[in-house]
Structure 1
Amino acid sequence: FRIGDLLDMHLSDSQFDAVICVFGIFFIPDMPAAVRALWHAVRPGGKLAVTAWGPRFFEPAATAFWNGVREVKPDLYKGFNPWDRISDPASLRALLREGGIERAQVIAEAGTHLIPSANAWWSAVLGSGFRGTVDQLDDTALKHIYEANVSYIQGSGTSSVEANVIYAIAQK
């Protein structure tokens, strides 16, 4: 593995049989440039695969998380989720075209993530893009948000959250 900047990878052209970007493309401010950089690394006949979260990521519990954040740290309340820009097949397909990929198979798949307990929900929070927000909280705010989320999961009977995915595969 090599840590670096996706937009400045210093790789030779057409080097890889497969290039995969899993739930990451939406974190790059210039997504079309990122697509071009990834596509540049794919050899002729090779494939690029990109995944993004679909609509309603982690709902209904995501709303409880963000409401808790807004109550104690309004400055950290989400303006938007970065993946919302490409959370449907049409928008991901448009991004690929803007990045120089004319033909790609783009598939939406509905999914769920089981939440058997409030602690399982909090583990999902810590293992997701929500972690960046959690890491910015002081102990008092963190305790409030954790307790609000535990209360929500237990009180609502939520046993799963949506984990919808958009997959794109392009062959060069």
Structure 2
Amino acid sequence: MNQLAPAKALIAATYASAASHFDDPPLAFWARIGKATVSRVPLGPGDRVLDVCSGSGASAIPAAQAVGPEGSVLAVDLADALLARGRAKAGSLGLSNIDFRSADFEAMDIPPEHFDAVVCVFGIFFIPDMAAAVRRLWQWLRPGGTLAITTWGPDVLEPGNTAFWDAIRVHRPDLYKSFRPWERIDTADSLRAMLAEAGVTDASVEAEHSRQPLASPDDWWVIALGSGYRGTIDQLDAGTREAVRRDTLAALRARNAITAETNALYAVARKPSPRG
């Protein structure tokens, strides 16, 4: 078995568990940033799009709307429950040009230069060798096509992020994470360097500073249940889970935290055509 299989299985389980909260109002940033990513890609009617780590369709759905019925979107993710939500949302919008597929994009057999655009929102950092993954995506892009990779910027989901991990350190120090994978590319320079290592040397990178409004500090726990924090929460017994929730929300209520940082980096690169 591939040594990365257990790590990928954990990612799939985490986001399958988070799926029931993924589209709740406090997590509206998924759709907002997915749409903002697609808005940076010059899509037209009839284009073919690959969306990897697609979640419940935050970027795949606006891409499908942009390419129209003549075009197509292949949306790939490891979490079946998220894909099911994406299919339901696409169906409610009358979109029949999206194929939501459960697959590991690192194992997919796709001909080179098959897509007009390749999109990856909040997913590339889960791959240990990000540059190798980007090279794979780049080879599937036709000359003149566009690669769009979006990742988290600094201070992701603060102040709740710090409050949550402080509570974990108190109640389950063995689960405390001092490193988050997106921190490898949470600045424009580090993201450009990773892309350059992959051979993508002419990418534009735009940093966006934004916040997700919360109706109350308690909404941050909904974010935790509908995001990657869920993988840690699911390892807690009922008593410890309640203690972590209590301590996290007490810290946020004390400062009346009614926003969460959703800073993002948008990288967009056009694959050169034979004539430049």
Would the TM-score normalized by the shorter structure come out above 0.5? yes
Q: Distance in 2 between matches of 1:120 and 1:20?
A: 29
Deviations 1:121-146 (A, max 9, x none): 11111222212111221111111111
Contact 2:217 2:258 (8 Å CA) reproduced:
no
2:143 paired with 1:143:
no
Q: Aligned partners of 2:170 and 2:252: how far apart in 1? A: 18
Q: Distance in 2 between matches of 1:6 and 1:74?
A: 34
* Of 158, 163, 166, the match for 2:262: 163
Structure 1 residue 153: Cα displacement: 2.0
TM-score by length of 2: 0.60
SS of equivalent residue, structure 1 residue 161? strand
Matched, 1:46 2:152: no
Percent of residue pairs bearing the same amino acid type: 48
Paired position in structure 1 for 2:209: 110
Pick one of 125, 131, 134 that aligns with 1:35: 134
Shift of residue 10, structure 1, vs aligned partner: 0.7
Structure 1 segments, 4+ long, off by >4 Å, are: none
Aligned partners of 2:101 and 2:199: how far apart in 1?
25
Contact 2:212-2:261 within 8 A present in 1 as well = yes
Give secondary structure in 2 for the equivalent of 1:106: strand
Letter in structure 1 aligned against 2:147: L
Consecutive unaligned residues of structure 1, counting only runs of 5 or more, are none
Deviations 1:40-92 (A, max 9, x none): 11111111100110001111221110011111111110121111000010000
Structure 2: gaps of 5 or more residues = 1-99, 272-276
Q: Aligned to 2:218, which of 105, 116, 119?
A: 119
In 2, the alpha carbon distance for the partners of 1:60 and 1:153 equals 7
* SS of 1:2 mapped into structure 2: strand
Q: Size of the alignment, in residue pairs?
A: 172
Q: 2: distance between equivalents of 1:138 and 1:29?
A: 29
How far off its partner does 1:2 sit? 2.2
Whole-Å separation in 2 of the counterparts to 1:8 and 1:40: 14
AA in 1 matched with 2:137: L
1:151 is displaced (CA, Å) by 1.2
Task: Give the distance between the partners of 1:95 and 1:9, measured in 2 at CA.
Answer: 22
Query: Shift in Å at residue 152 of structure 1?
Result: 1.7
3-state SS in 2 of match to 1:19: strand
Deviation, structure 1 residue 102: 1.1
C-alpha distance after superposition, 1:92-112 (max 9, x if no partner): 001111111111111111011
Partner of 2:218: helix, strand, or coil?
helix
- In the other structure, the counterpart of 1:86 is 185
**Which one-letter code corresponds to 1:71 in the other structure?**
V
Q: Assess if the C-alpha contact under 8 Å between 1:7 and 1:33 holds in 2.
A: no
CA distance in 2, matches of 1:148, 1:33: 40
Q: Partners in 2 of 1:139 and 1:118 — Cα distance?
A: 22
Q: Does 1:101 align with 2:200?
A: yes
Provide the secondary structure at the position in 2 that maps to 1:36: helix
How far apart, in 2, do the equivalents of 1:144 and 1:38 lie?
Answer: 42
